[in-house]
């Protein structure tokens, strides 16, 4: 299936390659570079490319391209999903997925790739299994390894992989037994010029951090599970139980994992926490423009909106911005044409406002479309959909664990058209 993997940085250098079947020459990447050139923006590179003898499937993560070489028919999503899983694993192991991090841990990277794919077919992709075989790096271990010439490869084979619950290690022991669940909801919305919502949906995810000894069997129930339109689960969740009783019943993996993601579609009514009043205009004469943005709270359910941030991708003709912000500060990057206004906490008494003039390149026709505003925000202690965990029970073990649930609402792809 997957023959080779090339890691390419944003400059177009191949800094790591790995072959599972036969070695394929680097020159195969030239086709990719060609497409990369044509696309201008790295995001616009088509994920699936065809060359005379191979097919190239690539993903773009954290300014890196993961480029895999395929020789025969395979579902493209299979490869894409796997590549993202590789990137996630790097993130998990090294806390980041950039070129420098990968270069620093090149040995572990190769060990991981060797384990994750076997003759081109995914083998161990479960982080828990991998961590038992190849221990994540830490300072002490790397010092010891340098001195003794040891490696990070575990001595024993992971037992989990051959059990029916490959995601959980056997014999887990903690002195403090605790289970934390973070319910995070992101609002994807498009709001048009006049302030009416064109489309809005909620994407929710429940991240868990479970540190429980033994083989606990957890059940989680919701106050209002009918809200959820569509869900996807970690393999540990028993689907039948969910279908019949709307209860999440599972033996959790050890440590951090994503328990479920859910989707509340645009057919439902979604609360929009802030409103934006804006006017951006470009004048023909004098080659300048005006910008005036005010943000106010709309449906916040009595909570404070934090980490408010507005990002505007300006048209090419805008040279500079001369603005004053009543709260927070703004930056305008001349090369990327990005105007970022970092507001912070939203004070309902005194609404934050950004106004001023834009200087334009002379002799260039004015842009006819105003740039749209992307909003970032965060509301603590609130799931905007109204979802609530009603109870969490544990079976199978006798101790009493500490349980906690936290709610956060964030803006996902929240866009205001102007």
Partner 1 sequence: MIDLSRPLPHAPSLVAGSVVMAFEEVCPDRIDLIHKNYRKLCNLLVDVEEWGQVVIISMLTRYARTQFTSPWTEVRFDENKAFYDSDSEEKKDQTEAKPYIMDPDHRLLLRNTKPLLQSRNTAVVMAVAQLYWHLAPKHEVSIVTKSLVRLLRSHREVQYIVLQNIATMSIQRKGMFEPFIKSFYVRSTDATHIKTLKLEILTNLANEANISTILREFQTYVKSQDKAFAAATIQAIGRCATNISEVTDTCLNGLVLLLSNRDETVVAESIVVIKKLLQTQPTQHGDIIKHMAKLFDSVTVPMARASILWLMGEYCEKVPKIAPDVLRKMAKTFTAEEDIVKLQTVNLAAKLYLTNSKQTKLLTQYILNLGKYDQNYDIRDRTRFIRQLIVPNEKSGALSKYARRILLAPKPAPVLESAFKDRDRYQLGTLSHSLNLKATGYQELPDWPAVAPDQSVRNVEIVEPSEEESSEDSEKTSSDSGKSSSGSEKSSSESESDQKKKKKTKKAPQKKSKPAGDRYTEIPAHCLIPQNDSKNPTFRTSGISLFYVSFQVTTSSFGPLKTYELLHHMTGKGLSAKYHFPRQPCLYQPSMVAVQVILNNSSDHALEEIHIGDRSPASLNIHCFNTIERLEPGASVTVSMGIDFSDSTQAANFQLCTKEDQFSVSIQPAVGELLMVSTMTEQDFCKEQGELLCDSKIIVKRSKSVFCFSILLAEMKQAV
Tell how many helices (H) and how many strands (E) occur in the chain: 7, 23
* 216 near partner 1, rule: CB under 8 A: no
CA angle, residues 258, 261, 264, in degrees to nearest 5: 160
* DSSP bridge pairs for 376: 309
* 31 near partner 1, rule: CB under 8 A: no
Helix ranges restricted to H, 199-308: 239-245
- Which of 43, 146, 171, 349 binds partner 1 (CB under 8 A)? It is 43
* 46 near partner 1, rule: CB under 8 A: yes
End-to-end CA distance of the chain: 46
As measured in angstroms, the least distance from the Cβ of 164 to partner 1 is 5
Give yes or no for a contact between 5 and 28, defined as CB atoms under 8 angstroms apart.
Answer: no
Distance CA 144, CA 134 (A): 15
As measured in angstroms, the least distance from the Cβ of 169 to partner 1 is 13
CB atoms within 10 A of CB 128: 19
Residues 65-104 vs partner 1: string with x where CB under 8 A? -----xxxxxxxxx-xxx-x--------------------
Distance CA 204, CA 323 (A): 36
* 48 near partner 1, rule: CB under 8 A: yes
Distance CA 168, CA 175 (A): 18
Rank residues 71 and 294 by Cβ distance to partner 1 and give the closer one: 71
- Which of 232, 281, 336, 381 binds partner 1 (CB under 8 A)? It is 232
As measured in angstroms, the least distance from the Cβ of 267 to partner 1 is 6
To the nearest 10 degrees (0 to 180), the angle between helices 76-94 and 106-116 is 140
Q: Is residue 402 helix, strand or coil?
A: strand
Distance CA 330, CA 343 (A): 8
Rank residues 232 and 390 by Cβ distance to partner 1 and give the closer one: 232
Q: 402-416 and 178-191 as β-strands: parallel, antiparallel, unpaired? A: parallel
* 273 near partner 1, rule: CB under 8 A: no
Q: Is residue 409 helix, strand or coil?
A: strand
* 265 near partner 1, rule: CB under 8 A: yes
Give the range of 94-102, 338-346, 355-363, 407-415 binding partner 1 by CB under 8 A: 407-415
Rank residues 23 and 48 by Cβ distance to partner 1 and give the closer one: 48
Rank residues 160 and 352 by Cβ distance to partner 1 and give the closer one: 160
Distance CA 130, CA 136 (A): 9
Joined tokens for residue 186: 């992101």
Helix ranges restricted to H, 95-234: 99-104, 106-116, 127-133, 139-148
Distance CA 2, CA 75 (A): 11
As measured in angstroms, the least distance from the Cβ of 395 to partner 1 is 12
Joined tokens for residue 307: 């980490």
Rank residues 119 and 322 by Cβ distance to partner 1 and give the closer one: 119
Q: Scanning residues 321 to 360, which ones bind partner 1 (CB under 8 A)?
A: none
Q: Scanning residues 147 to 206, which ones bind partner 1 (CB under 8 A)?
A: 162-166, 188, 190, 192, 198-199, 201, 203
- Which of 28, 69, 220, 237 binds partner 1 (CB under 8 A)? It is 237
- Which of 5, 6, 16, 58 binds partner 1 (CB under 8 A)? It is 58
As measured in angstroms, the least distance from the Cβ of 50 to partner 1 is 5
Radius of gyration for the alpha carbons in the chain, expressed in angstroms and rounded: 25
Give the range of 105-113, 130-138, 255-263, 280-288 binding partner 1 by CB under 8 A: 255-263
- Which of 146, 176, 369, 400 binds partner 1 (CB under 8 A)? It is 369
- Which of 273, 289, 371, 401 binds partner 1 (CB under 8 A)? It is 371
Interface with partner 1: number of residues (CB under 8 A): 80
* 233 near partner 1, rule: CB under 8 A: yes
């Amino acid at each position: 299936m997957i023959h080779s993997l090339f890691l390419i940085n944003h400059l177009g250098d191949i800094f790591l390659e790995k072959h599972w079947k036969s070695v394929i020459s680097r020159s195969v990447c030239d086709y990719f570079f060609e497409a990369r050139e044509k696309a201008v923006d790295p995001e616009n590179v088509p994920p699936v490319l065809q060359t005379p003898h191979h097919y190239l499937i690539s993903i773009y993560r954290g300014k890196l391209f993961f480029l895999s070489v395929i020789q025969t028919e395979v579902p493209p999503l299979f490869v894409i999903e796997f590549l993202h899983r590789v990137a996630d694993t790097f993130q998990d192991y090294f806390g980041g997925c950039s070129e420098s991090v990968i270069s620093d841990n090149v040995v572990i990277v190769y060990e991981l790739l060797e384990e994750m794919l076997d003759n081109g077919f995914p083998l161990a992709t479960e982080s828990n299994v991998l961590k038992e075989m190849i221990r994540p790096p830490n300072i002490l271990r790397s010092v010891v390894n340098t001195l003794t010439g040891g490696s990070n490869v575990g001595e024993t084979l992971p037992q989990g992989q051959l059990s029916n619950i490959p995601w959980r290690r056997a014999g887990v022991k903690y002195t403090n037994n605790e289970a934390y669940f973070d319910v995070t909801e992101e609002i994807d919305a498009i709001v048009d010029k006049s302030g009416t919502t064109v489309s809005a949906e909620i994407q929710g995810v429940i991240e868990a951090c479970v540190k429980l000894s033994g083989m606990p069997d957890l059940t989680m129930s919701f106050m209002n599970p009918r809200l959820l339109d569509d869900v996807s689960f970690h393999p540990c969740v028993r689907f039948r139980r969910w279908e019949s009783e709307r209860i999440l019943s599972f033996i959790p993996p050890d440590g951090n994992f994503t328990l479920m993601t859910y989707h509340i579609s645009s057919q439902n009514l979604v609360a929009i926490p802030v409103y934006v009043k804006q006017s951006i205009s470009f004048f023909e004469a004098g080659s300048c423009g005006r910008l005036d943005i005010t943000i106010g709270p709309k449906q916040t359910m009595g909570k404070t909106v934090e980490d408010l941030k507005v990002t505007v991708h300006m048209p090419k003709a805008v040279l500079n911005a001369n603005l004053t912000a009543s709260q927070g500060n703004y930056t305008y990057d001349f090369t990327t044409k990005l105007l970022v206004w970092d507001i912070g906490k939203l004070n309902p008494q005194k609404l934050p406002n950004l106004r001023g003039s834009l200087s334009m390149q002379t002799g260039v026709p004015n842009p006819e479309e105003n740039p749209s505003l992307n909003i970032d925000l965060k509301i603590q202690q609130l799931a905007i959909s109204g979802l609530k965990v009603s109870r969490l029970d544990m079976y199978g073990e006798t101790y009493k664990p500490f349980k906690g649930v936290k709610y956060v609402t964030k803006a996902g792809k929240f866009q205001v058209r102007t």
